[in-house]
């Protein structure tokens, strides 16, 4: 009887460790994956700024913002927020900010819904779900936020 109890306790301890560190590894992967998608987009915008401004003037119709301001804010968000997400610093606000950037992309660029490229809108929905999961469940133990919370 003592052996069964010991095995159960070891099994429970192993489950706890796997759940804790497995979840932390998954959160790290999600932060890296979704952050990289936005960071790449920001680098493309920054790499050809005149085209970026033209796109925001002619293609993207961001409500309530001047095209130039929308271009600056969108690009800054795509470059700064993923870095915070990678580090796990201010992770929830960074995930929320990227969720808003993602939503604004969907709202301001109706061609995403075109039948020519259905994967584009699907990508935005997937990224939104991943960001929502990070927002709700947090960045995990492998984040600076977790270290700062201990202090």
pLDDT at residue 72 tops 90:
yes
pLDDT tens profile 39-65: 999 999 999 999 999 999 998 888 889
Q: How far apart are alpha carbons 103 and 109 in whole angstroms? A: 10
pLDDT at residue 17 tops 70:
no
Q: How far apart are alpha carbons 10 and 18 in whole angstroms? A: 12
146: which 2 tokens? 């977790």
pLDDT at residue 113 tops 80:
no
Sign, Cα dihedral of 104, 109, 115, 120: negative
**CA torsion, ordered 23, 82, 128, 55, to nearest 10 deg:** -160
pTM above 0.85, yes or no: no
Q: Is 138 helix (H, G, I), strand (E, B) or coil?
A: coil
User: What letter would DSSP give residue 53?
Assistant: H
What are the residue boundaries of the structural domains of the chain, listed by start?
27-150
The share of the chain scoring above pLDDT 90, in percent, equals 61
């Amino acid at each position: 009887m003592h052996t069964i109890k010991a095995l159960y306790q070891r099994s429970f301890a192993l489950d706890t460790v796997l759940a804790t560190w497995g979840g932390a590894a998954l959160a790290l992967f999600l932060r890296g994956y979704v952050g990289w998608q936005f960071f790449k987009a920001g680098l493309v915008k920054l790499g050809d700024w005149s085209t970026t401004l033209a796109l925001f003037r002619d293609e993207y119709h961001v409500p309530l913002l001047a095209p130039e301001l929308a271009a600056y804010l969108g690009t800054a968000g795509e470059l700064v927020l993923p870095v915070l997400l990678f580090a796990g610093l201010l992770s929830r606000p960074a995930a929320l900010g990227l969720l808003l950037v993602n939503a604004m992309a969907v709202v301001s660029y109706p061609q995403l819904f075109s039948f020519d490229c259905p994967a584009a809108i699907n990508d935005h929905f997937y990224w939104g779900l991943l960001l929502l999961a990070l927002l709700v469940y947090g960045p995990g133990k492998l984040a600076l936020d977790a270290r700062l919370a201990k202090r």
